Amino acid sequence: MTIEDLYQAIGHAALENTLEVSGAVLVYAEVQPGVIESGMFFERGQERLITFRYCTDELEDLLYKLWEKAGEMPGSSQWCGLAYLVRDGQLTIDLSYPEQWDAEESIVERRPRMLEHYFGRTGPVDYSMPGD
């Protein structure tokens, strides 16, 4: 698969796993060799409640393949964070590199800034899982 194919597959997999989307969909991943931490945030309902879901295994596999494929490109620096945003039919992909992060900070500490940046607010966020 090419990088472009992976971008399309990631978008399809993300949209298949969201419910009642009424706004933006964000897939966020942090990747290191052999490790991936990922999640999806999307706006749901009339009130556009930000809703969290873990990425499916399929989506995580696609994200990791994208990370590996990007690392194979000559002269490229290996990213460690990816934000894949679909809003109003437009796709935005932002990559983060190790030198841009505080090594002592966790994904949980970065999350409020990420939500503010992509959704214009930090919450509230629905972390319940379907069927809870």
Dihedral in degrees, nearest 10, Cα atoms 82, 99, 64, 128: -50
Separation of alpha carbons 29 and 107, rounded Å: 9
**Nearest by Cα to 98 from 24, 17, 32:** 32
Q: Which helix (H) or strand (E) holds 39?
A: strand 35-44
pLDDT at position 107: 87
What pLDDT sits at residue 123? Answer: 86
Mean pLDDT for each consecutive 10-residue tract of the chain (132 residues)? 94 87 94 93 93 95 95 86 94 94 90 94 88 52
Q: What is the pLDDT of residue 131?
A: 55
CB count, 10 Å around CB of 54?
A: 13
Question: Is the link from the previous residue into 74 a cis peptide, with omega within 30 of 0?
Answer: no
Q: Rounded distance, CA 108 to CA 71, Å?
A: 25
What domains appear along the chain, each with residue ranges and CATH number? 3-125 (3.30.500.20)
In the prediction, which pLDDT does 74 show? 85
Calculate helix-pair angle for 57-71, 3-16, nearest 10 degrees.
160
- Residue 76 pLDDT: 78
